[in-house]
Every structure is written in C-alpha cells, then in structure tokens.
Amino acid sequence: MDEHEHETPAEIAIVGDLTDHENDITEKLLSIPPGGECTFYIDSPGGSPYSAISLMSLVLLRGLRATGIVTGECSSAALWPFAACRRRVVTPYSILLFHPMKWQSEEHVRLAEAAEWARHFGHLEEEMDRVLGDLLGMPFEQISTWINPGRYVTGREIAEAGLAEMVELRDLKSFEQNGDGKLRKRSKLGTV
C-alpha cells in the first residue's frame, strides 16, 4: 500500500493577494505527489492573472484531486484555482466576484508597448474567461453575464447554479474532514 494513502490531504490556505503568496502556494502544491489530494481554504481578493494561471495549471497538470472551500471571498484571479478543484464548497456567506481582467503597469511605458499590452490582455481575458467557464461547466454566454460588467455572486447562488456544494454555517460544527478529503457528518457513533 502506498505510504500516501494513509496521509490526510494537504491543507493550503489561499488568503490575501495570490501574487504575494504564489511562491508559498506553489511549493505546497509541488510537495503533493501527482494525483494526490489537497484542500484549499480560500479567502482571497485575487491578484495577478498570471499567478492564477500558474496555480490552476499546477493543479490540472499534476492531476491533483483538489477540494476548494471558500471561507470568505474568492474573487477575480482566485476564481481560477477554485474552478480547477474537482470539488468546490461554499457557505451562504461566501462571496465570489467575477469581473473583466484588469492590468496595470508600475513602469513608464511607451505608447507602442502600452498598445501591445492592451492587445495581449484583450486576448488573454477572452481565453481565460472561456477556461473559467469550461472548468466550472458553465456556458461562456452565462459566465459572461457575471463577468461583464462585474458581479458579486453569493455562495448560495453558486450552489444553486450547480457549481459548488453549499454547507450552512450552523452545520459546520457537525462536519469533519476525513483522510479522503471529504466533509462528513459526525454522529454519536463516529463519522458517517
């Protein structure tokens, strides 16, 4: 029997700006064997779209069996790692912000470079919106209504759309996470 079968899934906090924590999250993801399990606890306003692409790609390329639990906010770039999860969990108070991609440059750039950035981001935005819809199993036309002009979507709405499971806060104390990464209801005789 493989030694990893007895280990509990890695738990990874995605809290704050993805860009600021990408290195730490990447190292934790790379420490999980290909095909292994992990649980993301997400409370993030987003960050760099490139950080989102990288984290999403690591989950998918390594075939990780990820569970994403939105404990607070999952907005902007944080949506892509969440969408890459095989299992997604929200509470009624989880908030997810879908909006058009934004970019900025801290440097002084010439007009030609700014025009190239605008062209590149226009293409990247459309491609990433399609990837997000595909990962969530949501038609591009439907996800576009959330993205443009930008919409906060509650956990309840996400669950009603069939994109995640919803767990009521009052029920959380009666649940526990088992070694298989699943939230299960506790009973007096143990976990069921």
79 three-state secondary structure? helix
Tens digit of pLDDT for each residue in 118-174?
A: 777 776 777 888 899 999 999 988 888 999 888 999 999 999 999 999 998 776 665
Across the chain, mean pLDDT equals 84
Domain count, the chain: 1
CA pseudo-torsion sign 64, 65, 70, 76? positive
- Residue-range definition of the domain harbouring residue 7: 3-191
Q: Which residues of 126-157 are buried (b: 16+ CB within 10 A; e: fewer)?
A: eebbebbbebbebeeeebbebbeeeeebbbeb
Task: Provide the pLDDT for residue 190.
Answer: 41
Task: Provide the pLDDT for residue 110.
Answer: 78
Task: Provide the pLDDT for residue 37.
Answer: 97
Strands 10-17 and 65-74 come out as unpaired
Which CATH number covers residue 114?
A: 3.90.226.10
What are 187's two structure tokens? 């009973």
pLDDT above 50 for 192: no
Q: Sorting pLDDT into bands at 50, 70 and 90, what band is 8?
A: confident
Q: For residue 149, is the peptide bond before it cis, meaning its omega torsion is within 30 degrees of 0?
A: yes
